[in-house]
Amino acid sequence: MSDGSIPTIVTGLRHGFRQGITRPEAWRRGQLEALRRMLQERASDFEAALAADLGKSGTEAQLTEIGFVIGEVDHALAHLSSWMRPRRVTAPPAIQPASARIVPEPLGVALIIAPWNYPLMLALSPLVGAIAAGDAAIVKPSELAPATSAALALLVPQYLDRRAIAIVEGGAEETAELLAQRFDHIFYTGGGRVGRIVARAAAEHLTPITLELGGKSPAYVDGTVAPAAAAKRIAWAKFLNAGQTCVAPDYVLGTRETLDRLAPASAGAIHDLYGNAVRRNPDYGRIVNDAHFERLVSYLGDGEIVAGGGRDAAERFIEPTVLSVADRDSAVMRDEIFGPVLPLVEVADLDDAIDFVAGRDKPLAAYVFSDDAGVRQRWTAETSSGALTFGAPILHLTVPDLPFGGVGESGQGAYHGERSFRVFSHEKAVLAKPLTPDTLGPTIMPPFTGRKDRLVRQWLGRLR
């Protein structure tokens, strides 16, 4: 990209927005339908790109990326009219007659910075919200998923309105130049280190931000559930996309008795999902690059391998691996793993498990496997996480009306469904009061008489 082109792109999109191109509902619907058409008509191109970047099978690409975004588009199209509709609120008696309403309006030009692990879905899912809200938007795909980035750069301009939507490829230099521009919202998905850079850059322009970060999402298993059933669901959620999922279970907590049953059950679950020859299984992906491969391999010495452990640097292949970890302060328990390594960590009891999670940074999700209602209630009341699910890791993402987002170190702000529309909208307060009859002069405007004083005090008393 030539020097100065990023400011030119931003200026062009802002011009399109100010012309009102993006505001009509018909434009928003047309763009959402075009986005869906692109994903359907060019599905094979995106499947090939995701296979090149991450070794994803076509089925996994459809399930977790292409089909997921199509579902988001369909949900937005079904509800767009109601989301756009002003909402009436009640004006207090003291200022009647008057009407009050909340009018959603587009923020302006948004910047969406996507990560590499779900490089299609996490680029386009926020864009659904921006389009629905009536914003112009720049999408910055991850340079670590170059094939998907190139596919987006090629295809998006063919389907979507170039006056309002642009793709900017590149690495850290281009991202820095983008962050130097003034936007009306920045939506970032990725790690906390870059998240802080984004937040500092946004602060220069007082730009609102959404930060979708990560963290170590725990799973807790107790003796009230069948270990084989729990192990299979944990293994599926953990090893999907070769473990490179922000909401994957990062580690498992359980008592020694529970873990002694869970360890062999986990090995069985891996076999059920991927068979004996995982390396040759097309349903299992690859690590995104050599640096992440080496980082993940370094964790294998932090515990006893109870399942898996095989790897091949040339293929960036790491077998689904389960570790028995004794040291709670080891690197594998400090870092977000973001790969196919699952530590099993012994706790003394439920209190120890809750204390362990509550004493660390708040995770993006927490997963509890227990049929005990009291245990579930304690996890709900005594821990904080972006999401909490019982018996079904990562499936909360499939519910459009559930907010998806973190808390504390795992992020700020949430999206999906209507919340995506709200993220990229400003809720403008609109009040209308006729000039006649004049109800303000006799009640709350000077000169203040004894009667007005009594009226004001009565009114304020009711407000309190």
Residue 438 sits in the same domain as residue 400: no
What distance in Å separates the CA atoms of residue 408 and residue 70, rounded to the nearest whole number? 30
Q: Indicate the pLDDT class of residue 460, thresholds 50, 70 and 90.
A: confident
Residue 443 domain boundaries: 434-463
pLDDT surpasses 80 at 464: no
pLDDT surpasses 50 at 4: no
Instruction: Map residue 137 onto helix, strand or coil.
Output: strand
- Answer with the residue of higher pLDDT: 444 or 248: 248
Into how many domains does the chain fold?
A: 3
DSSP state of 22: T
Residue 244 sits in the same domain as residue 194: no
Residue 362 sits in the same domain as residue 451: no
- Write the CB contacts of 16 (distance below 8 Å, at least 6 apart in sequence): 22, 136, 161, 163, 164
Residue 226 sits in the same domain as residue 327: yes
pLDDT surpasses 90 at 458: no
Mean pLDDT (whole number) for 278-292: 96
Residue 233 sits in the same domain as residue 167: no
Residue 103 sits in the same domain as residue 26: yes
Q: Give the pLDDT score at 2.
A: 39
Residue 161 sits in the same domain as residue 269: no
Q: Give the pLDDT score at 461.
A: 80
Residue 340 sits in the same domain as residue 286: yes
Tokens standing for residue 312: 């091949």
Helix/strand/coil percent split, the chain, to 5: 50, 15, 35
What distance in Å separates the CA atoms of residue 448 and residue 456, rounded to the nearest whole number? 10
Q: Give the dihedral of Cα atoms 188, 193, 198, 200; nearest 10 deg.
A: 150
Residue 39 sits in the same domain as residue 135: yes
pLDDT surpasses 70 at 6: yes
Q: Which residues are catalytic?
A: 212, 246
What distance in Å separates the CA atoms of residue 245 and residue 243, rounded to the nearest whole number? 6
Q: Indicate the pLDDT class of residue 463, thresholds 50, 70 and 90.
A: low
Residue 53 sits in the same domain as residue 183: yes
Residue 279 sits in the same domain as residue 400: yes
**CATH number (domain holding residue 357):** 3.40.309.10
Instruction: Map residue 30 onto helix, strand or coil.
Output: helix
pLDDT surpasses 50 at 300: yes
What distance in Å separates the CA atoms of residue 265 and residue 267, rounded to the nearest whole number? 5
Residue 324 sits in the same domain as residue 362: yes
**Average confidence score pLDDT of the chain:** 96
Asked whether 92 and 444 are in contact (CB, 8 A), the reply is no
What is the per-residue pLDDT across 320-355, written as a single tens digit (0 to 9) for each?
999 999 999 999 999 999 999 999 999 999 999 999
pLDDT surpasses 90 at 361: yes
What is the per-residue pLDDT across 152-201, written as a single tens digit (0 to 9) for each?
999 999 999 999 999 999 999 999 999 999 999 999 999 999 999 999 99
Mean pLDDT (whole number) for 16-37: 98
What is the per-residue pLDDT across 208-263, written as a single tens digit (0 to 9) for each?
999 999 999 999 999 999 999 999 999 999 999 999 999 999 999 999 999 999 99
